Amino acid sequence: MAKTWKDNEISLDPIKNQTISVIGYGIQGDAQANNLKDSGLKVIVGLREGSPTWEKAKKDGHTVMSVAEATKQGDIIHVLIPDMIQAKVYREEIGPNLSKGKALSFSHAAAIHWGWIPAPQDVDIIMVAPKGPGSKVRETYLEGFGTPSIVAVYQDKTGTAWDRTLGLAKGIGSARAGLIQTTFKEEVETDWFGEQADLCGGCASMVVNSFETLVEAGYQPEIAYFEVLHELKLIVDMIQRYGINGMWRRVSETARYGGLTRGPMVMDKDVKAKMKKVLQMIQDGTFNEEWISEYQKNGKNAFDRYMKQLEQHQIEQVGKKMRQMMWPDSKE
């Protein structure tokens, strides 16, 4: 069983006099910096000069400075900029200003695990990875609870790396919900697999194929949309709250029998074999090399071209109309 921690098992004392430099002020940077500040910790924000979020961070009450200066002044350098620019920013601004005894911290382990950033030898290297988007990290904190995190220490050079990791997680509010110990390797491989095979890639592909199956059989696309996409959230919410068995107990008997007997016909051994192939391509570095190559050649067009294709799909055209009907004031 993985080691876990709750809020009452952790103290902020080991880091209360340390300065946390949050690098980046996007969705995670914004949420985590504000949670840490509201927890009474010393926070500064490091941004590229001229960044569109510079003024927002200042308005939120933060001391804002360049990434280089924030690295010099900080004790814990918490890197929350997008994955694909971390190596460049580290090489140009963080690395030259990172001195012995500091902590280099992340919320995703890819840059260290895959060597995008060569691990410096004289600092702690740690990770606190909230299992939810930044908006939820902030929202649950303000509600007096938190978003759970997985935590890891890659390198402990000071003997206090775990104190720093757990203190950071407590300050973010994650310890209120619970912390789970992991490794940098495990976090990257499971995170990427979940995104590709299940949460994003697998789920979206399943929905599109289900929609096409119904429409090609002559059913109205609006009805197909509701049956295979709109109602999915209701089921996922039940699974998250009550587990898979709890979901089965809360749907109709017909849905229960039909799902239990026909689900394995769709998600069969061939699908599992393909999932194993996806995992293997993550583990052996194939996906990492492909992603780096694509991004270097095409930038954001590496994925935008796929999204543009999906925008033209009937499920997206119908979906826009259905969502406008249900939520006329919302903007996509």
The answer on whether 140 is annotated among ligand-binding residues is no
218 and 173 in a common domain: no
25 is in an annotated binding site: yes
- Whether residue 256 is annotated as binding a ligand: the answer is no
Assess whether 248 and 172 both reside in one domain. no
Average pLDDT (184-188) is 98
Residue 314 assigned to a binding site:
no
Helical segments of the chain, H only: 27-38, 54-59, 67-73, 83-89, 110-113, 134-142, 161-172, 174-177, 184-193, 201-216, 221-225, 232-250, 253-266, 269-283, 286-298, 301-311, 314-326
Same domain (yes/no): 49, 127: yes
User: Could you give the percent of the chain with pLDDT greater than 90?
Assistant: 93
- Which is nearest to 70 in space by CA: 110, 20, 35, 122? 20
In a domain, 222, yes or no: yes
pLDDT of 112-161, one tens digit each?
999 999 999 999 999 999 999 999 999 999 999 999 999 999 999 999 99
Check which CATH number belongs to the domain holding 22 and give it: 3.40.50.720
The pLDDT value given to residue 1: 84
303: containing domain = 194-326
In a domain, 187, yes or no: no
Catalytic residue among 62, 78, 108, 113: 108
Q: Are residues 130 and 227 in the same domain?
A: no
Residue where a domain terminates, one of 182, 207, 225? 182
Q: Are residues 168 and 280 in the same domain?
A: no
Of 150, 147, 148, residue with least CA distance to 126: 150
- 146 and 230 belong to one structural domain: no
pLDDT at 83 over 80: yes
Q: What is the pLDDT of residues 29-61, one digit of tens each?
A: 999 999 999 999 999 999 998 889 999 999 999
Annotated binding residue at 26? yes
**pLDDT confidence of residue 260:** 97
Does 109 reside within a domain?
A: yes
- Domain-located, residue 188: no
Query: Mean pLDDT in the chain?
Result: 96
* pLDDT above 80 for 330: no
Instruction: Indicate whether 108 and 224 sit together in one domain.
Output: no
Q: Are 294 and 302 in contact (CB under 8 A)?
A: yes
Whether 108 is a known active-site residue: answer yes
DSSP secondary structure of 274-328 = HHHHHHHHHHTSHHHHHHHHHHHHHTTHHHHHHHHHHHTSHHHHHHHHHHHHH-T
